[in-house]
Amino acid sequence: MSAIAIKNNQQIPVSSIPLVDYHNFLIFNTSLLKLEENHCVNYFGIPKNNTIQLFCCVANDNNQNILISSSIIDKDKPYPSFSEQHVAFEKFEREIHENFGINYTNHPWLKPVRYAYDRQNKSNTITNYPFFKIDSEELHEVGVGPIHAGIIEPGHFRFLCNGEQILHLEIQLGYQHRGIEKLFLNKKRLVERNTLAENIAGDSVIGHTTAFVNLWESLCKFEPSDDILLSRIIALELERIAVHTGDLSGMCTDIAYQLGSSVFGRLRTPIINFFQQWCGNRLGKSLVRVGNNNFPFTNELRTKLIAVLDKFEPDFDEMCKETFHAPTVLGRLEKTGIITNQLGKEIGLVGMAARMTNINRDIRSSHPFGYYTSLAHQPILKEHGDVQSRGQIRREEVKQSINYIRNLLNNIPLKQKEVTTNLQLTPSSFAISLIEGWRGEICHCAITDEKGELIHYKIKDPSFHNWLAVAMSVRNNEISDFPIGNKSFDLSYCGHDL
Amino acid sequence: MLENIKILFHQGKQYIPDLRTVEAPGVFRGRPIINLESVDNEALKEICPTHAISANPVQIDLGKCTFCGECALAFPNKIKFTKDYKIATNSLEGLIVKEGEDKLITLNADLVRAEIQKYFKNSLKLRQVSAGGDGSCEMELGACSNVNFDMGRYGIEFVASPRHADGIVITGPITENMAKPLQTAYEAIPQPKIVILCGVDAISGGIFVDSPAINRSFLKTLKIDLYVPGNPIHPLTFINGVLDLIGKK
């Protein structure tokens, strides 16, 4: 047996994960990805003396299984790469290379990922990134960032253009690296770790924090109450509504469609203000906590939320109808920034960016937790893979989330505040937690030692998979379409850089 | 055309008429009040994720506070967070809230440089730089200019180029990888220029303060004109703080 099959939010003894030699490890995992139903949700290494223990987690979209396999390799020897067989592994292997200096004999693009402070090769710095170059009299380079024109996070984009047309885009990240994964180990108090999880990515506060608390509770063998689970799902879906609506505003801004920009922008306000009414923070920081609900979802809140949604929905519908029928809008969105279904599968896209090109991938349906099981979620799929599809998906997912919240509010009894303390981590364990955030699949993994101390914490934001799609989607587009193309993906810099 | 007018009509009045006095909705956690009741100080300090609470006397450093409210939940009689969002100030001492005190947080007029009010009172253009910020303060700064808060009514705007800016608004704990670009952007702004630190990460490093991946040495060379606490900052905190700084009523 090459792997152990586990479910989402399950913890297992580390010793139960089969150790195979690297050759079989490679064949096993790369053959898994030959089937479309499988994709790699996490792949990382842990240093041990002069060796690295690799863990590969491949999720199956059909049978709720996640296959965990492991192999130990030497630091000093070169190895054949997974990426040669399947591009979806390329970022993971670059990360392993950057962190530990593992050399791959046939990796197609072995470049730095985020310039982590504890990287192996300190002579690689963010100022000497090896950009792809083409020598030509006709072509020119355009560099954008790290600081962008708007109020957003930093990252560098380097375009190779033929006139107005983009031939190639390379995206260099790492400016936001804060050393979060190591801080999870160094900070020993639960409240510190909970706070760290909230600060991984400010637009996915609920997503990342829920992944963290689900993981932590499974490592402590703690079963959260119905009320806690309900609160998390309502919060997740509210976050999806808020960010999708804000993104529709941003997309309208980028094509200078003033009405949509203002109206979607202001429609986001009542949703995030509801978070403030619920927990005192507009983005939901402080709401999600391990083992307790500091801010129970009361009947009063239920009434307020229904009123907020009742007011929101007609205005949202009206604005969507106008936006997606306006020729000035459609002319900019349709056939811009296309990712084909085939390319999407090769890259291993996740989340909204996968569904816009007809890849049926959604953790809410494939690996559901809590009430998602009873919602029997049907992912919304689009076929064209262009900016228009990414806009339409947002529109329809907002509507779907509103329906889910209404359903949940109708049926579930609400309870009182509960506080659980003294949770202990199970020693020598491995656990994995998957969440479908608004952007896509968030994956957290943790491993404990024999004393029950955390020895490894691994975070994967959906952006880690999807940045490559931004670079590919702009090829042969006009460079003036880059802002709208980029915004339509709206990927995270800090979630990637950690 | 008619459809567009209908949409405009349906939005009603979205802007907040008076940003100076409007009440924050819900259970907003703004300026805390600490009373003199004695509690287990060690337990109180231990509950704070960012060591913002110290004892003898009990005080909260709003530059370190994430406003998570854990202390007020555990010691509801000792600490209460009010809805007072006017918590921006221009000195680190001004960010300290001591037990037994219930006074408003204001700017120290002696520390405001004369040229700030002279040049920027009616028009202030700012360049924002995120240096490891998680995107939350950035989103709230963006919200300052939306139709609800409409900061532009005071002549305060964010601009794309540092050359067009009168000051820099920094978010994030300042990562090693972002330290140099941040400094470059700062240097590109013409004199006189103001510096605003936004959010707990920028003011103190927040939860990242002891991370080896951050480098805050650049800040030590600057005079900070305004500290805006929060995680993230609330648009009302930012706008009121800036208005106080430039001397707008």
Report whether pLDDT(A417) > 70. Answer: no
Contact: B148, A259; criterion CB under 8 Å = no
Sorted by where each starts, the structural domains of chain B and their CATH numbers stand as 32-98 (3.30.70.3270), 109-246 (3.40.50.12280)
Which B residues in the span 91-150 are in contact with A, Cβ-Cβ below 8 Å? 128-143, 146-148
Rounded Cα gap, residues B244 and B226, in angstroms: 10
- For the segment B132-182, what is each residue's pLDDT rounded down to a tens digit? 999 999 999 999 999 999 999 999 999 999 999 999 999 999 999 999 999
Nearest CB partner across the interface for B175, out of A151, A175, A280: A175
Residues of A in contact with B150 (CB under 8 A): none
Rounded Cα gap, residues A271 and A310, in angstroms: 12
Mutate to test the interface with A, among B177, B189, B215, B216 (most CBs of A within 10 A): B177
Place of tokens 């040669």: A84
Contact: B68, A285; criterion CB under 8 Å = yes
Rounded Cα gap, residues A251 and A255, in angstroms: 7
State both tokens at B22.
Answer: 């409007």
Kindly identify which residue of chain B lies nearest to residue A285, measuring between CA atoms. B68
Q: pTM of the full predicted structure?
A: 0.94
Chain-centre distance for alpha carbon A301: 29
Mean pLDDT in residue range A101-112: 92
Rounded Cα gap, residues A214 and A190, in angstroms: 13
Rounded Cα gap, residues A295 and B91, in angstroms: 33
Q: Which CATH number fits domain A201-457: 1.10.357.10, 3.50.50.60, 1.10.645.10, 1.10.510.10?
A: 1.10.645.10
Residues of B in contact with A262 (CB under 8 A): 146-147
State both tokens at A183.
Answer: 């801080």
Is B140:A152 a contact under the CB 8 Å cutoff? no
pLDDT band at residue A1 under the 50/70/90 scheme: confident
For residue A230, the distance in angstroms to the closest alpha carbon of chain B comes to: 21
Nearest CB partner across the interface for B26, out of A186, A277, A494: A277
Residues of B in contact with A314 (CB under 8 A): 10
For residue A38, the distance in angstroms to the closest alpha carbon of chain B comes to: 31
CB atoms inside a 10 Å sphere around CB B121: 16
For residue A31, the distance in angstroms to the closest alpha carbon of chain B comes to: 37
Place of tokens 């139903």: A37
Rounded Cα gap, residues A381 and A394, in angstroms: 11
- For the segment A313-372, what is each residue's pLDDT rounded down to a tens digit? 999 999 999 999 999 999 999 999 999 999 999 999 999 999 999 999 999 999 998 888
pLDDT band at residue A171 under the 50/70/90 scheme: very high
Rounded Cα gap, residues A143 and A141, in angstroms: 7
The phi, psi pair for B77, rounded to 5°, reads: -85, -25
**B178 touches A: beta carbon within 8 Å:** yes
A-B interface: how many C-beta pairs under 8 angstroms? 195
Integer-rounded Cα Rg, in Å, for chain A is: 22
State both tokens at A405.
Answer: 């919240």
Mean pLDDT in residue range B38-43: 91
Mean pLDDT in residue range A35-49: 92
Contact: A178, B46; criterion CB under 8 Å = no
Question: Is A4-113 a CATH 3.40.47.10 domain?
Answer: no
Integer-rounded Cα Rg, in Å, for chain B is: 19
- For the segment A177-227, what is each residue's pLDDT rounded down to a tens digit? 999 999 999 999 999 999 999 999 999 999 999 999 999 999 999 988 888
Contact: B138, A183; criterion CB under 8 Å = no
Kindly identify which residue of chain B lies nearest to residue A417, measuring between CA atoms. B73
Mean pLDDT in residue range B243-249: 90
Rounded Cα gap, residues B30 and A271, in angstroms: 20
For residue B111, the distance in angstroms to the closest alpha carbon of chain A comes to: 28
Sign of the Cα pseudo-torsion (A483, A485, A488, A492, in order): negative
- Residue B200: which of B146, B145, B132 has the closest Cα? B132
* DSSP sequence for A358-387: T----HHHHS--TTHHHHT------SS-SH
Is A41:A441 a contact under the CB 8 Å cutoff? yes
- Residue A242: which of A201, A207, A283, A303 has the closest Cα? A283
Q: How is chain A split into domains, by residue range?
A: 4-113, 201-457
Is A400:A362 a contact under the CB 8 Å cutoff? no
For residue B11, the distance in angstroms to the closest alpha carbon of chain A comes to: 8
Kindly identify which residue of chain A lies nearest to residue B130, measuring between CA atoms. A153
* DSSP sequence for A306-329: HHHHHHHHHHHHHHHHHHTT-HHH
Rounded Cα gap, residues A142 and A160, in angstroms: 7
Residues of A in contact with B47 (CB under 8 A): 191
- Residue B233: which of A283, A129, A457, A233 has the closest Cα? A283
**For A340-488, where are the E strands, in sequence order?**
429-436, 441-448, 454-460
